[in-house]
């Protein structure tokens, strides 16, 4: 082969190897440097998450109790309003 053919051919091969090689090398380095499996939590973090879970459960119970009390109060007020409204209607019909 003559130098007139070798230089452009080598240049093209170099460009092709760079274009294909860089993504392959990046993928390989990501695979090698990536930790295996999910990260391990320390005992302190696990204990804190457990306490947070218990606190959220306790708050949910308290919110449900508040909601039940609100429903009971609303029921009592609506019954009271309906009882007070009935005599007024009865007196209006007589007059």
The verdict on residue 59 lying in a domain is yes
The verdict on residue 47 lying in a domain is no
The verdict on residue 19 lying in a domain is yes
The verdict on residue 39 lying in a domain is no
**In total, how many domains does the chain have?**
2
The pLDDT of residue 3: 75
Grouped pLDDT means (10 residues each) for the chain, 95 residues:
84 92 91 77 90 97 96 93 69 53
The verdict on residue 14 lying in a domain is yes
The pLDDT of residue 31: 85
The pLDDT of residue 95: 47
The verdict on residue 46 lying in a domain is no
The pLDDT of residue 82: 84
For residue 11, give its domain range: 1-32
Q: How far apart are CA 36 and CA 22, in angstroms?
A: 24
Are 58 and 95 contained in the same domain? Answer: yes
DSSP code at position 40:
P
Q: How far apart are CA 3 and CA 19, in angstroms?
A: 24
pTM, to two decimals: 0.45
The pLDDT of residue 50: 95
């Amino acid at each position: 082969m003559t130098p007139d053919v070798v230089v452009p051919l080598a240049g093209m091969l170099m460009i092709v190897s760079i274009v294909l090689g860089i993504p392959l090398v990046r993928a390989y380095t990501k695979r090698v440097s990536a930790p295996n499996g999910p990260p391990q939590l320390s005992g302190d973090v696990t204990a804190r998450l457990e306490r947070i879970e218990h606190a959220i459960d306790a708050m949910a119970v308290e919110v449900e109790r508040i909601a039940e009390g609100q429903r009971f109060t609303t029921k009592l007020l609506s019954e009271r309003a309906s009882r007070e409204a009935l005599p007024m209607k009865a007196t209006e019909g007589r007059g």
